[in-house]
């Protein structure tokens, strides 16, 4: 067998296993065997770059970085849907369309309304070429590299279909995958994501496609868009889409009359909580494609389709007590402690009350009977009070004036919805929370130490702040509950190892308010050391790209606190990285300042990622697609013909890998 044949064989096998697992939900190979085959394919592709294929299963692991998603005008507008909320609404709709078509004999396709982010996928000659978000319906963002990582989306179609078409669907996060992601986040002391829909649509705009690949996203298809008249009905086009590899849910149903539509609606209104993903309604579409064409569109939605929205489930229960939670940054969140009640398949005991304004606006009081609703959010909401049941001795809620943990008077700055406890260094949940944040995965990533152990160490009086971690000794830890020699050693090893964590992560770990991961990266790159950052004045700070007043002020507040400066000096003395390392500075220049690069094809002297890093290290910018703003295209082997054509029309300089290396050396 030739190398090319072997590559083809592996690709076909891997595609089939992917399809079996992610579309049919049927495992046909062990993870281990799958990995072995994938590794073999990766190796063959690396050694034989002439067989590179953007649609190879190896391209699903991600790794491309997109800084700016290109705006693309939709070939066919992506409309909204008109909504209906009752059977009467649906009957009215039926009457309207019967009149236009001039017939009472219409068929409908009933589908669930999947709750995620809509996406438009383009296929040419049976190959996936591009994915664009809905955006405003006229134009959206190109997110091809991110979408390619979703395993249930076929990159190559099998069998007979239309040659060139678009297909639309919804990118969703199934509930179990969402729950797993949140468990991991909580274990890492990160805030839980609020709901699957926002998390799914946020995932599409992540810059690093390798991060997207890690998320258990799925894509459910609901509309084939083409000018070819191969199919007579919508249902038929979906069934054929399923045959060539798309995940078209089995729940779609053909209804011969509006009564059968009602049956579908009733069935799923009762059963929707058994589904593996969220749905907020049903979409009903006229089945005959010719009828669809006759009906056409209003200015915002097709006349041939309508959404039916399920009522959000609501229950009433008694609010026993309002308590207050203190977060790591001192932010106070009021919590409603409820008489436990069943709602949408779960028992609800608590609901967030957001902030003082919300309580005042709804006039929520203890001992009130309140209405609780489960909308898109995972945490249920209180949407109002049943005033008819308010007890006679009821008194308006007086919002907490002091911290429930340390009794310090709370503050609220103008323009901020939340109250804060300002006692940073004396308030227990803030102290513990800061240390927990410090050790978390995206910060110092300390292995062998978890959030609960931090709590324990604090209670035992062994640590007061994150610098104290570096003074811990094995002998102090062994006697603690659930600790043994081995685990104690691992913990100390983990702490020791964190001294190698690069400055940008250390800066994030410090827990300066409003300095998240991305801001920390920017600041580290600009200021290069903690000393430069801590001595910078307000004007210097806001002069940095994307650093605004709020962040600048927070850094000034942090640096003007003596306690913080002592902590930093101690971290320094332990050898924690408080400046950008020499190694990473060596290769950094401003040679490519202000220049925008697009990288395309296969390279020999460095990997794509190395090439991109080299561009950024030398002050240049990497963009994922060619536009007027592009200065250079670094072209390797097999640069895509469409990119080449575009580069030529825009007269953008195309340079080779060697030209690039000469440029920076
Ligand atoms: P709306 O955002 O309320 O205007 O509803 C329109 C959106 O519903 C579309 O953009 C799709 O993203 C989404 N949707 C979910 N399921 C379906 C479906 N089965 N058919 C059509 N649209 C759907
Ligand atoms: Zn406090």
How far apart are the CA of 112 and the centre of ligand 1, in A? 9
- Whether residue 624 has pLDDT greater than 80: no
How far apart are the CA of 169 and the centre of ligand 1, in A? 8
Residue-averaged pLDDT of the chain? 91
Spatial distance between the Cα atoms of 450 and 471, rounded to a whole number of angstroms: 17
How far apart are the CA of 81 and the centre of ligand 1, in A? 6
* Domain match, 234 and 122 both: yes
Could you tell me if the CB of 222 is within 6 A of ligand 1?
yes
Q: Mean pLDDT throughout 180-208? A: 87
- Whether residue 481 has pLDDT greater than 90: no
Closest CA to ligand 1's atom 22? 113
Last residue in a domain, options 309, 343, 372: 309
* Domain match, 462 and 537 both: no
**Nearest Cα residue to 145 out of 647, 644, 579, 622:** 622
Nearest ligand to the CA atom of 421: 2
pLDDT in tens, 310-367: 987 789 999 999 999 998 889 999 999 999 998 876 788 999 898 999 999 999 999 9
Last residue in a domain, options 462, 481, 500: 500
Judged by average pLDDT, the poorest of 146-150, 249-253, 645-649, 653-657 is 645-649
Looking at residue 472, what is its pLDDT? 96
List, as ranges, residues with CB under 5 A of the ion ligand 2: 403, 405-406, 408, 421, 423, 427
- Whether residue 376 has pLDDT greater than 80: no
Give per-residue burial for 233-265: e unless 16+ CB within 10 Å, then b. Answer: bbbbbbebbbebbbbbbebbbbbeebeebbebb
Share of the chain above pLDDT 90, in %: 69
Could you tell me if the CB of 111 is within 6 A of ligand 1?
yes
How far apart are the CA of 590 and the centre of ligand 1, in A? 47
Q: Where are the alpha helices (DSSP H) in 142-192?
A: 144-147, 175-187
Ligand 1 atom with minimal separation from the 170 CA: 12
Could you tell me if the CB of 170 is within 6 A of ligand 1?
yes
* Domain match, 580 and 457 both: no
Could you tell me if the CB of 81 is within 6 A of ligand 1?
yes
Question: For the chain, what is the domain count?
Answer: 5
Supply the range of the domain harboring residue 437.
428-500
- Whether residue 517 has pLDDT greater than 90: no
Say which of 113, 285, 381, 643 is annotated catalytic: 113
* Domain match, 111 and 177 both: yes
Nearest-10 Cα torsion for 488, 491, 497, 503:
-150
Q: Mean pLDDT throughout 413-437? A: 90
In a domain, 71, yes or no: no
Looking at residue 375, what is its pLDDT? 66
CATH number at residue 660: 3.40.50.10190
What is the crossing angle of helices 87-101 and 258-271, to 10°?
Answer: 150
Pocket test for ligand 1, best of 114, 166, 250 (most atoms within 8 A of CB): 114
* Domain match, 266 and 137 both: yes
Spatial distance between the Cα atoms of 592 and 619, rounded to a whole number of angstroms: 5
Spatial distance between the Cα atoms of 29 and 223, rounded to a whole number of angstroms: 31
Q: Mean pLDDT throughout 423-436? A: 92
Give per-residue burial for 531-549: e unless 16+ CB within 10 Å, then b. Answer: eebbebeeeebeebeebee
* Domain match, 21 and 165 both: no
Looking at residue 621, what is its pLDDT? 84
Ligand 1 atom with minimal separation from the 285 CA: 20
H or E, element range at 133 = strand 127-133
* Domain match, 512 and 611 both: no
Q: Residue written as tokens 């069934």?
A: 239
pLDDT in tens, 496-509: 999 999 999 999 99
Q: Mean pLDDT throughout 646-664? A: 89
* Domain match, 11 and 158 both: no
pLDDT in tens, 381-401: 899 999 999 999 999 999 999
Could you tell me if the CB of 80 is within 6 A of ligand 1?
yes
Residue 39: band (very low, low, confident or very high) from pLDDT cuts 50, 70, 90: very high
Ligand 1 atom with minimal separation from the 115 CA: 15
How far apart are the CA of 371 and the centre of ligand 1, in A? 28
Judged by average pLDDT, the poorest of 39-43, 213-217, 465-469, 596-600 is 596-600
Q: How far apart are the first and last CA of the chain?
A: 43
Asked if 381 and 361 count as a contact pair (C-beta separation under 8 A), the reply is no
* Domain match, 203 and 266 both: yes
Spatial distance between the Cα atoms of 81 and 362, rounded to a whole number of angstroms: 32
Spatial distance between the Cα atoms of 190 and 437, rounded to a whole number of angstroms: 8
Nearest ligand to the CA atom of 425: 2
In a domain, 367, yes or no: no
* Domain match, 495 and 569 both: no
Give per-residue burial for 423-440: e unless 16+ CB within 10 Å, then b. Answer: bbeebebbbbbbbbbbbb
Nearest ligand to the CA atom of 428: 2
Closest CA to ligand 1's atom 11? 118
Q: What is the pTM of this model?
A: 0.63
Looking at residue 422, what is its pLDDT? 92
CATH number at residue 20: 1.10.287.610
Catalytic, 361? Answer: no
Looking at residue 68, what is its pLDDT? 87
In a domain, 77, yes or no: no
Last residue in a domain, options 585, 612, 641: 585
Could you tell me if the CB of 113 is within 6 A of ligand 1?
yes
| Measured CA angle at 265 (ends 22, 92), to 5 deg | 130
Pocket test for ligand 1, best of 307, 308, 310, 375 (most atoms within 8 A of CB): 307
- Whether residue 83 has pLDDT greater than 90: yes
CATH number at residue 530: 1.10.150.20
Could you tell me if the CB of 77 is within 6 A of ligand 1?
no
Closest CA to ligand 1's atom 4? 80
Query: What HEC string does 215-243 produce?
Result: CCCEEEEEEEECCCCCCCEHHHHHHHHHH
H or E, element range at 309 = strand 305-309
Could you tell me if the CB of 74 is within 6 A of ligand 1?
no
Q: Mean pLDDT throughout 465-479? A: 95
In a domain, 521, yes or no: yes
In a domain, 189, yes or no: yes
In a domain, 406, yes or no: no
Could you tell me if the CB of 118 is within 6 A of ligand 1?
yes
* Domain match, 442 and 544 both: no
CATH number at residue 220: 3.30.470.30
* Domain match, 158 and 287 both: yes
Looking at residue 377, what is its pLDDT? 63
Asked if 111 and 168 count as a contact pair (C-beta separation under 8 A), the reply is no
pLDDT in tens, 447-462: 889 888 999 999 999 9
Looking at residue 268, what is its pLDDT? 94
Ligand 1 atom with minimal separation from the 117 CA: 12
């Amino acid at each position: 067998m030739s190398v090319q044949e072997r590559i083809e064989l592996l690709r076909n096998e891997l595609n089939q296993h992917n399809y079996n697992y992610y579309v049919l939900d049927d495992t046909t190979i062990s993870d281990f065997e799958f990995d072995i085959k994938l590794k073999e394919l990766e190796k063959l592709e690396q050694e034989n770059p002439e067989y590179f294929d953007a649609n190879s299963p190896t391209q699903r692991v991600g790794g491309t970085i997109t800084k700016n998603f290109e705006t693309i005008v939709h070939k066919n507008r992506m409309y909204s849907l008109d909504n209906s909320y009752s059977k009467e609404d649906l009957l009215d709709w039926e009457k309207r369309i019967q009149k236009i078509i001039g017939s009472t004999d219409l068929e409908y396709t009933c589908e669930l309304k999947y709750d995620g982010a809509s996406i438009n996928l383009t296929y040419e000659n049976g190959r996936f070429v591009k994915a664009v978000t809905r955006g405003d319906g006229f134009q959206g963002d190109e997110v091809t590299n991110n979408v390619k990582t979703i395993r249930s989306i076929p990159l190559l179609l099998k069998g007979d279909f239309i040659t060139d078409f678009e297909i639309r669907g919804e990118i969703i996060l199934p509930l179990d995958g969402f729950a797993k992601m949140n468990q991991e986040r909580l274990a890492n002391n990160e805030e839980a994501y609020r709901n699957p829909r926002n998390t799914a649509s946020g995932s599409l705009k992540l810059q690093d496609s390798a991060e997207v690949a890690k998320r258990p996203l799925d894509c459910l298809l609901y509309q084939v868009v083409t000018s070819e008249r191969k199919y007579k009905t919508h249902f038929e086009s979906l069934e054929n889409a399923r045959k060539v590899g798309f995940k078209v849910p089995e729940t779609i149903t053909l209804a011969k009359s509006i009564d059968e539509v009602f049956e579908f609606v009733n069935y799923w209104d009762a059963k929707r909580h058994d589904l593996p993903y969220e749905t907020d309604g049903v979409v009903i579409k006229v089945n005959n494609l010719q009828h669809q064409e006759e009906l056409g569109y209003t200015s915002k939605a097709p006349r041939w389709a309508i959404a039916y929205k399920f009522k959000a489930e609501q229950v009433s229960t008694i609010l026993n007590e309002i308590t207050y939670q203190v977060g790591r940054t001192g932010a106070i969140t009021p919590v409603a402690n409820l008489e436990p009640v069943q709602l949408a398949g779960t028992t609800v005991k608590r609901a967030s009350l957001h902030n003082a304004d919300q309580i005042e606006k709804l006039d929520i009081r203890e001992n009130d009977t309140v209405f609780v609703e489960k909308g898109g959010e995972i945490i249920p909401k209180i949407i109002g009070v049943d005033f008819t049941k308010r007890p006679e001795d009821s008194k308006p809620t007086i919002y907490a004036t002091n911290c429930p943990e340390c009794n310090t008077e709370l503050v609220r700055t103008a323009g901020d919805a939340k109250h804060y406890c300002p006692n940073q260094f004396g308030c227990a949940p803030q102290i513990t929370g800061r240390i927990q944040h410090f050790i978390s995965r995206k910060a110092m990533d300390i292995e062998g130490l978890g959030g609960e152990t931090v709590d324990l160490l604090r209670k035992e009086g062994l640590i007061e702040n994150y610098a104290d971690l570096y003074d811990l000794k094995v002998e102090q830890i062994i006697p603690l509950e659930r600790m043994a020699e081995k685990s104690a050693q691992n913990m100390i090893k983990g702490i020791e190892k964190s001294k190698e964590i690069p400055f940008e992560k250390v800066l994030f770990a410090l827990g300066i308010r409003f300095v998240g991961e991305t801001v920390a990266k920017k600041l580290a790159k600009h200021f290069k050391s903690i000393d430069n950052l801590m001595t910078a004045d307000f004007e210097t700070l806001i002069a940095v790209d994307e650093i605004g007043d709020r962040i600048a002020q927070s850094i000034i507040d942090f640096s003007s606190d003596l306690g913080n400066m002592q902590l930093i000096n101690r971290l320094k003395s332990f050898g924690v990285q408080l400046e950008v390392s020499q190694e990473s500075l060596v290769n950094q220049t401003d040679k490519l300042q202000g220049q925008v690069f697009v990288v395309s094809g296969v390279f020999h002297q460095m990997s794509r990622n190395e090439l991109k890093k080299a561009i950024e290290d030398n002050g240049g910018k990497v963009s994922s697609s060619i536009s007027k703003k592009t200065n250079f295209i670094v072209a390797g082997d097999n640069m895509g013909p469409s990119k080449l054509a575009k580069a030529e029309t825009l007269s953008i300089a195309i340079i080779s890998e060697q030209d690039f290396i000469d440029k920076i050396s």
